[in-house]
Amino acid sequence: MSPERSPAVGAEWSHAWSAALDDLELEVDRAEAMLRADALPAAGLPGETTWRPPALPPIPPDMVERARGIHARQLDVAARMTRRLGDLGRQSALTDRIETGRVRPRAQLVDRAC
């Protein structure tokens, strides 16, 4: 029996994948909680350290659905964060106009050929 096919190695890989998915799920949970709270946590943003993908073999078939569910949640959180950033930009521009009574100056391009 090859080392890749041995039950001990298979169990180790399964455990490693389970731990990696647990970590990903925890990060998604934190990001979702931050979005629900509408404020940054006092402890800082989740995932502030550089993430390095674990050196794992292909995912075991019995964990594929869980991984897909986590991935779908990650995509949802990313879309919601993108919308939130757009909202914050619009709110900031509105606040600037309210405080100063004028629109922020923008660069003007002059076509000297005309």
**Series of mean pLDDT values for 10-residue runs along the chain (114 residues):** 50 89 92 82 60 81 95 94 80 72 72 74
Q: What is the pLDDT of residue 43?
A: 60
**For residue 7, is it within any domain?**
yes
**For residue 93, is it within any domain?**
yes
**For residue 89, is it within any domain?**
yes
Segments forming the whole domain that contains residue 88? 3-43+59-99
In this prediction the pTM is 0.63
The total number of structural domains in the chain stands at 1
**For residue 83, is it within any domain?**
yes
Q: What is the pLDDT of residue 1?
A: 40
DSSP track, the chain:
--GGGSHHHHHHHHHHHHHHHHHHHHHHHHHHHHHHHTS--TT--TT-SPP------SPPGGGHHHHHHHHHHHHHHHHHHHHHHHHHHHHHHHHHHHHHSSPPP------TT-
**For residue 106, is it within any domain?**
no
